[in-house]
Amino acid sequence: MLKSDQAVHKKDQVKEVIEKYIKKGRDFFELTPSFLENLDELKGFSERTLKRGRTEFKLEHPDMIKKHSRNTASLKKKVYKYLEKAPKATPKELNILFPDIDKKLLVNIRNLWKKENQEVDSEEEAHSLRQNVFDFLEQAPQTTLSKLEKAFPDFNKKTISNYLDQWRKEHTPKRKVSLKQRIMDYLDANANTDLPQLRAYFSDTKPASINTYYSLWKNNRIQNVSPKVRQQESQLEIKSDDSDIVQALKTTIDAQKKTIDVLKSQNEILKDRQNIKFPELEGMTKEEIKTVESVIRIFIRGIKSN
């Protein structure tokens, strides 16, 4: 089934090519299977497929075929063969060589041949000119447009300019993106990437460089976040925490406050004690103060024994 579908498809292609060449001025009887098999559009097509396509075209276009004749096709073939050997032959020369062919038909055949071959020549000429310009620029890459125009004075200036632009475009080195920029761009596009993932992605890069650029990216990102956004993020983080953890934090804070209050109270007592003075002891030596201290101790022991 597949082979049949392919054959039908190729057969239709043959008919399309025949119609195209008839519109160009070719005679149907010129488009023989041997002629068709040499066309680029039908390269590789079997002779059977070419014949089937040609036969169906003839049956589908009887009115068109009536306007064509085997005799005209034969005459064209003869003139074409001569023009291939002598492409610059004039109509007068052709009239002498082919006196039996109507002059008007002969002119039409010559014009058709020149048109077909002029298209090929112009394509080849354009390709050749482009290559010549490119070769010239390879030898002198700094050549300006004015110098290039002087080097090819017989050709259209716009065409030369276009070729120069093409060559420069092909030979302009692409700007190399730095490693730092590549890492920053990657992190901007993949903000959730952690350091191990970044190292894995840039496996050919030194870990120290990746660490540096990752830290730089994180710092820049934090600085770019407004205070309001940071406050909102903080509130969201607190709301998302477990309630037991929040309660434990509150209990710890309350205990710390009580400890601070006790320390303040003790500090006040110490201050008061430091403010107690004994004017009677002023002016006494350390030895005299120790003697007084011993007497007081004895006095206190006596009070306790009673």
Report pLDDT for 233: 54
Question: Where does the pLDDT of residue 5 fall: very low under 50, low under 70, confident under 90, or very high at 90 and above?
Answer: very low
Domain boundaries, the chain: 2-122, 133-171, 277-306
Report pLDDT for 25: 72
What's the one-letter identity of residue 279?
P
Give the integer Cα–Cα distance in Å for 182 and 188: 10
Mean pLDDT taken over the chain: 76
Structure tokens at 127: 């390709």
Report pLDDT for 270: 62
- Reported as a single tens digit per residue, the pLDDT across 234-262 is 555 545 455 666 676 777 787 777 777 77
Give the integer Cα–Cα distance in Å for 230 and 32: 83
Q: Average of pLDDT values for 98-120?
A: 74
Question: Where does the pLDDT of residue 277 fall: very low under 50, low under 70, confident under 90, or very high at 90 and above?
Answer: low
Q: Average of pLDDT values for 136-163?
A: 83
Burial class from Cβ neighbours inside 10 Å (0-12, 13-18, 19+) for residue 265 reads exposed
Written in H, E and C, the secondary structure of 149-191 is HHHCCCCCHHHHHHHHHHHHHHHCCCCCCCHHHHHHHHHHHCC
pLDDT reading at 78 higher than 60: yes
Q: Average of pLDDT values for 179-194?
A: 87
Note the maximum CA span of the chain.
171
The interaxial angle of helices 157-171 and 103-139, nearest 10 deg, is 40
Other Cβ atoms closer than 10 A to 73? 17
Q: Average of pLDDT values for 56-82?
A: 77
Please state whether the predicted TM-score (pTM) of the whole model is above 0.75: no
Question: Where does the pLDDT of residue 120 fall: very low under 50, low under 70, confident under 90, or very high at 90 and above?
Answer: very low
DSSP state of 24: T
DSSP state of 39: S
Other Cβ atoms closer than 10 A to 132? 14
Report pLDDT for 3: 42
Give the integer Cα–Cα distance in Å for 186 and 193: 9
What distance lies between CA 192 and its chain's CA centroid?
Answer: 23
